[in-house]
Amino acid sequence: MLHVTDVHCDTVRLAKVLDQEVYDLVVATGDFECVDTAEALIARAKSPIVAISGNMDDPSIARVLRDAGALLDGRIAEVKGLRVAGVGGLDTAGSLSALRSKLGDNTRVDILLSHHPPRGVLDRTFIGIRIGLKEILELVNELKPDVHLFGHVHESRGAERRGETLFVNAGPLKRGYYAVLERKEGSWDVRLLHTH
């Protein structure tokens, strides 16, 4: 699985990573910022795509992703045998509310996507302030996903395991960062990578 986030209009770099990596699913956690960047993701990916909007995205980007069947803002999808849920960054409160209504009694989620990190996890800015959202942390604590993928805080790239969940901020693709995750014997391995 390929995880990209915070592309910020760097369509050339996105295309390069999509072309050079081996993956069976692309996960994009927002901040495409340019419509042609979202269109390039759809055109060049060699596998199914799931994506959410970021806080820098506008409704036209969400529309492109929705029309391609990739947008998971406030939704749940079964992809490659995985139950994936998404909380978009364009309207985080609305996305959280929609997702909660769709979950009902079945709160089993393999992978949670959000643009914003949960409070206290890979959410520290360069001046040391934590800017993750407590609402996202509450959702993670409720769902206990195997993997939580997000971005938004460019300077808090990394991966850490807490309890049952592997948290991954792939880092901004705009600066060449991305991640590849692989499921081995029921557990997830992550490689944080960089391209020029």
Contact (Cβ atoms closer than 8 angstroms) between residue 36 and residue 182: no
The pLDDT of residue 89: 97
Residue 82: in which H helix or E strand, if any? strand 82-87
pLDDT more than 70, % of the chain: 100
Domain count, the chain: 1
- Please give the order of strands across the beta sheet that includes 111-114: 76-79, 82-87, 111-114, 147-150, 165-169, 158-162
DSSP state of 22: -
165: enclosing H helix or E strand: strand 165-169
Under the banding of pLDDT at 50, 70 and 90, the label for residue 188 is: very high
Q: Which two tokens stand for residue 74?
A: 């406030």
Rounded to a whole number of angstroms, the CA Rg of the chain reads 15
pLDDT in tens, 132-160: 999 999 999 999 999 999 999 999 999 99
Given a cut of 90, is residue 181 above it in pLDDT? yes
Digit-coded pLDDT (tens) for 161-174: 999 899 999 999 99
Give residue 185's pLDDT band: very low, low, confident or very high (50, 70, 90).
Answer: confident
CATH number at residue 62: 3.60.21.10
Domain span at residue 122 reads 2-194
Nearest-CA neighbor of 166 among 184, 144, 185, 151? 144
For residue 104, pLDDT over 90 is answered with: no
